[in-house]
Amino acid sequence: MTRFIHDKFAKDYLEELLKDYGEVKASEKVSGEIKEIDVLFTPNQQQKSNLQILGLLGRFAENPAIIEPFRNPASADEICDCILKLLEVKASLRREAKTNKTKLQDAEIPQLWVLTPTVSETRLSSFGTMQKQDWLSGVHFLPDALRTAIVAIHQLPQTPETLWLRLLGRGNVQSQAIMELQALPLNHPYQQATLELVYNLRENLRINQELETDDRELIMRLEPLYQKDREQAKQEGRQEGIQEGRQEGRQEGEQRLIIRLLNRRLGEINQSLIESIQRLSIEQLENLGEALLDFSNIADLETWLNQQQE
């Protein structure tokens, strides 16, 4: 089942976008029969002014939020389960407030956002949803007491404001959003990190034997973008290496560049790995510069370095 691959992508993706603006808890367990909230978000008040960069998603994150993304159209039962999670969170907050002898404020109760790639008018009608004038089309609110909205991703307007939500759609909606993501300026704070997550999704789907048609098409659409991005990174690496090489000697310049790229991709690497890299030849360093584009963790780097010693 590829749904779990897409679920992990959605959680990692939302955490990446929202972590600068507050506390993000993915797969948060709630009481009662064991259930998990996909993303529970508590905003950081000091960061609210910067949320506009995330468009409609940023608007969701202005207040405490539960975000439940679905790869397939959310069924009535699944939407009801999401509402039940919200009610359990609210009950937990009420108990906590009672213990602390404080009053639970409405602003402390999360708003539930159910993200579904498509939804029928019949299903929306069954929940008594309504459109609010100051919200974009595609955002359908349940009665106010339920603090819930169903977000029909396929109905969102194709604008920069909705890009970060349309990336969680499927078919042509998601493919168009990926093209828009790739076209963002290179200095956009979320472009490269999001592309890396999309490429990781591509790799996870490629090794799965039972792909849906949408997933096969997604892999095909991502392939030229991935190759282009990979080639661009290689070219930038070569140019940077040449410039540093002129100043410090080619081999030392290559070493510094590779270590910087690895730190950026995998996090700070330890001294023993740095020493192993410093023992590599120029040719091996160039090969590592290409290979690291496919690394997803430190273990990949260690495996590659061990192969060089064989």
Distance in Å from the first CA to the final CA of the chain: 37
Element housing 92 (H / E)? helix 76-99
pLDDT tens-digit map of 135-158: 999 999 999 999 999 999 999 999
Q: How does the average pLDDT of the chain come out, rounded?
A: 83
Give dist(CA 111, CA 108) in Å, integer.
9
- pLDDT score, position 176: 92
* pLDDT of 247 above 50: no
pLDDT of residue 289: 79
Tokens of 218: 């997604």
103 Cα distance to chain centroid = 35
- Cα-Cα-Cα-Cα dihedral sign, residues 89, 91, 93, 95: negative
- Express each pLDDT in 170-204 by its tens digit: 888 988 998 898 888 878 889 888 888 887 777 77
Residue pair 278/243 in contact (Cβ under 8 Å)? The answer is no
Q: What is the mean pLDDT of residues 220-235?
A: 62
pLDDT digits (tens, 9 = 90+) for 249-295: 567 767 877 887 787 777 788 888 888 888 888 888 888 877 877 78
- Amino acid, single-letter form, for residue 174: Q
Structure tokens at 80: 């009801």
Residue type, 149: A
168 vs 158: CA distance, rounded Å:
13
Q: Measured between alpha carbons, how far is 100 from 102 in angstroms, rounded to an integer?
A: 5
Q: Shortest CA distance to 292 belongs to which of 310, 271, 269, 266? A: 266
- In angstroms, the CA 58 to CA 17 distance is 9
CA of 253: how far to CAs of 123, 185, 256, 270, in Å?
A: 60, 27, 5, 19
Burial class (CB in 10 A: 0-12, 13-18, 19+), 186: exposed
By 3-state DSSP, what share of the chain in percent is helix, strand and coil, each rounded to 5?
60, 10, 25
Tokens of 278: 């410093």
CA angle 231, 227, 240 (to 5 degrees): 20
Give kind and range of the element (H or E) at residue 214: helix 213-248
